[in-house]
Structure 1
Amino acid sequence: MREIYKKLDGVGRRQFLEYAAKSALGVSVLPVFNNMLEAAPAKSKGAKGAPVAGKAKRLIYLYMAGAMTHLDTFDLKPGHKNQGDTKGIKTNVPGAQISEFLPTLAEEFDKMAVINSMYTETGAHGPGEYLMRTSYKEIASTRHPSMGPWIQRFRGRQNKNLPDTVLISAPARHPSSGFLDPSYSPLPIGDPNRGLENTDTPAYLSENTFEKRIDLINKFDKKFQTKFKNQNVLAYTDFYSQATSLLSSDELKAFDLNEEKAEDRDKYGRNSFGQGCMLARRLVENNVRCVEVTFGGWDMHRDIYDDGILPSRAGVMDKAVGSLLKDLSERGLLDETLVVLTTEFGRTPVINQNAGRDHHPGVFSAALMGGGIKGGQFYGKSDKGGQSVDADGVLPADFNATIASALNLPLDKEIFSPDGRPFKVAHDGEAVTKLL
């Protein structure tokens, strides 16, 4: 309560005391507190550089599930015994090298800001993924939102028919909208090649009959809504209404990759991640605010340099992400679309007895592209052997604060969970403003 009070000016404080008095009489004031805090000016955290107003309007979040190896992608250690078999190649930025398995991204490196000083506090996949996506540790009592729902919470609804956030190939344990209202929940897509499934009207069902059935459902729903007035019911009704509107809208085509030329689909790669990246481009092109694409298979404990493991996985990522950057740039979308490439932690610099790399939270790599990011650079660095952070360490919360700043979201605004606890979009993270 004291922290809320401190954030308000004189008039706000008088209102606060008035609402507090009402609360003593059993009147719920939580929504009021949220509104008062959002109206109050945000205080600068004095992040890692001067505050910067971000220019990104959309987010494509590419998650490499399983822990992508940093020494074999973006943080090379030429001549060191920890480097393994991976060799470096030149990029289109003089003096900058990345992995030989990433030739397409090497041509697009001028668009990339690679952070080689990421580190985290857990080496377990589930907790690591949760922390990276939310900035918070996973706890039993509260589920925290991922970035897409936060964007919608602060910016409001973008589309009448299309969802604001879409998850492609996301894991079942994804934090989704967390404690936020269910209306902020992302739309999941399992297979990008199949798009949004079950959207074709059966041949036996005429348009007139379909509309009559929807009207009948709405009549039943209206009685139910009147009797049970709660957020979950209202959110379901809103989602159902949005779904039926989408079915009769031309915007449904945004989910259909068959609208694309075969040769263009080939450029991204005929695999789930490649097609997922292409679908992400189609969706942001249609003003979907946030699309997340998950690409698994990075948990390489053995035989990491076998053709079917690291070279194959990195090749899929390279082709898809490189094509996405080229496509967004050519269509004039990259300046206002932030593309994120990240993972939960790194992999051990020392190769194990099974010719693989194990879990390593001490340091890893991530990248930011487009959306006003200053590309063509490495930020931070690991030590000589890729074992730990040597300079400019970045935690998951700092990384998410940088994403939020690029999207011009308020870092200091507190939003309350249903049980009355305050949370921020990037917890206590500080944005790396040198990249913005």
Structure 2
Amino acid sequence: MKCLGNGLSRRNFMTVGAFGGLCLSDVLRMRSVLGDQKNYDFIPAKAESIIHIFLPGGLAQQESFDPKPFSPLEYRGEMGSIKTNTGEIISQTLPQLAKCADKFTIIRSMSHGEAAHERGTHNMFTGYKPSPALIYPSFGSVVSHEYGPRNNLPPYICIPNQPNEFAGSGYLSSSYGPFSLGADPAKAGFKVQDLNLAGGVDAERFARRQDALSTVNQYFSSRHNADSVTAMDSFYERAYSLISSEKARDAFDIEKEDAAMRDRYGRNQAGQRLLLSRRLVEAGARLVTMTYGGWDMHTNITNGIRNSMPALDQGLAVLLNDLDSRGLLDTTLVMVSTEFGRTPKINSDAGRDHWPKVFSLMLAGGGIKRGYVHGASDPTAAEPDLDPVSPEDLATTIYHLLGIVADKELMSPGDRPIEIVDGGKVIKQLLA
């Protein structure tokens, strides 16, 4: 058995009595490094949590972060462009973000080869190309696997629900899957499903049920080595922690947020989902995936953008400023992603079709450089012109910021070792 410097074995190190001066987060990070397959260099984490804002359908780069004001009208579209407070150009649809561009980075050279929604989404949630042989775990499930819960909150939360099948645990145990709210925080009377005790069940009765269930679980676990049994036991344990912790439950209660702050974010889907995301990471959630809108605009893209973008622009700008004012932006990585971009040329229905060759995303906080634009597309936003970024590169960089070694091997069914990411590189230009 390998020893750690002073002769303490890895197994003994992980016992409670051996924590010494290390906090739990240090121990969890060491656990992610001291895998069973091989030795890994220690990566100090800069990001303690992530807010992943996913825009399903394929956000047009031209109408968001990469306008082409000097290209012909049939390429640039009807939307104009504006200057940010850093002197860069973004779409006129993002006036609030333009005022705080010194807080985020834009990648204008994302690229992959998958033009179907499902396959593109798989790329962007896992860092892997789709495979018929294996389902890969999402960012949230890997983070859940490596670090576990914090402050009695689920490590991986989806607002309002798991957005797609690739946002799950893949080949990992389903116990690392997301906790979904099951409701939209923008709706009146918003309540998270299964968060409170059932009617007529007090704390004492709840404790008796917990003890009884623990006995049943031990019986089944001793006789069945099945993921479903282990996962269910883990889900119940986390549910008990959540239900029994008033502080954890309060994080989900958006009604406890100051009314003026709710107004600042916007009393709409984008604003309230973003606000709840902030509440959850502030309380201890490790990764929150928030989904908003439908960006698959094959027809009338100008009206589609005008309808959907203002709420996102407002809420996202407030989120960045809010996190920064609370001292959370440096330790919270904010990522705005989509599965691919849109075609360079407007189609006959005044829309844009699927285009994975080049598209844009936004990153902020958590060790990311501020006020920076990485890469470039060509004059019509058709292909990368400078520093192309693959999903593998993006995933490797995200894990690096989290203190997770991207080529660490996890065990898939059949005890087959699989690297968390295969072949990506850290994009050092993005790092602060």
TMscore range, shorter length: 0.7 to 0.9
Matched position secondary structure for 2:280: helix
Q: Tell me the TM-score normalised to structure 2 length.
A: 0.85
Tell me which residue corresponds to 2:317.
322
Question: Cα offset for 1:203?
Answer: 4.3
Question: Cα offset for 1:54?
Answer: 4.8
Question: Cα offset for 1:407?
Answer: 1.6
Whether the 8 Å contact between 1:42 and 1:412 is mirrored in structure 2 is no
Counterpart Cα distance in 1 of 2:176 and 2:197: 27
Counterpart Cα distance in 1 of 2:170 and 2:416: 13
In the TM superposition, 1:279-358 aligns within 5 A as 279-306=276-303, 309-358=304-353
Counterpart Cα distance in 1 of 2:357 and 2:223: 54
Counterpart Cα distance in 2 of 1:394 and 1:70: 15
Whether the 8 Å contact between 2:126 and 2:166 is mirrored in structure 1 is no
Partner amino acid for 2:262? R
Instruction: Name the % identity.
Output: 38
Question: Cα offset for 1:37?
Answer: 2.2
Question: Cα offset for 1:160?
Answer: 5.6
The unaligned stretches of length 5 or more in structure 2 are 1-33
The unaligned stretches of length 5 or more in structure 1 are 1-33, 44-51
- Which of 249, 265, 268 pairs up with 2:265? 268
CA deviation vs aligned residue, 1:350-389 (integer Å, no higher than 9, x gap): 1011111111111100111011111111111111111111
Counterpart Cα distance in 2 of 1:259 and 1:222: 39
Counterpart Cα distance in 1 of 2:258 and 2:355: 41
Distance 1:204 1:35, change over 3 A: closer
Greater shift in the superposed pair: 346-355 or 405-414: 405-414
Counterpart Cα distance in 1 of 2:236 and 2:198: 19
Matched position secondary structure for 2:301: coil
Whether the 8 Å contact between 2:35 and 2:408 is mirrored in structure 1 is no
Counterpart Cα distance in 1 of 2:422 and 2:270: 30
Counterpart Cα distance in 2 of 1:135 and 1:209: 45
Whether the 8 Å contact between 1:404 and 1:426 is mirrored in structure 2 is no
- Which of 227, 230, 235 pairs up with 1:234? 230
Question: Cα offset for 1:426?
Answer: 2.6
CA deviation vs aligned residue, 1:177-204 (integer Å, no higher than 9, x gap): 1111233222112324134223333443
In the TM superposition, 1:90-239 aligns within 5 A as 90-93=83-86, 95-154=87-146, 156-159=147-150, 161-169=152-160, 170-193=162-185, 194-239=190-235
CA deviation vs aligned residue, 1:103-149 (integer Å, no higher than 9, x gap): 11111101111011111111110110011111112223311111122
Distance 1:189 1:203, change over 3 A: closer
Question: Cα offset for 1:213?
Answer: 3.3
How many residue pairs align between the two structures? Answer: 390
Counterpart Cα distance in 2 of 1:364 and 1:296: 18
RMSD: 2.0
Distance 1:206 1:414, change over 3 A: closer
Instruction: List structure 1 segments (4+ residues) > 6 angstroms apart after TM superposition.
Output: none
Tell me which residue corresponds to 1:63.
54
Tell me which residue corresponds to 1:254.
251
Partner amino acid for 1:108? C
Counterpart Cα distance in 2 of 1:219 and 1:400: 41
Tell me which residue corresponds to 2:36.
36
Whether the 8 Å contact between 1:160 and 1:242 is mirrored in structure 2 is no
Tell me which residue corresponds to 1:415.
410
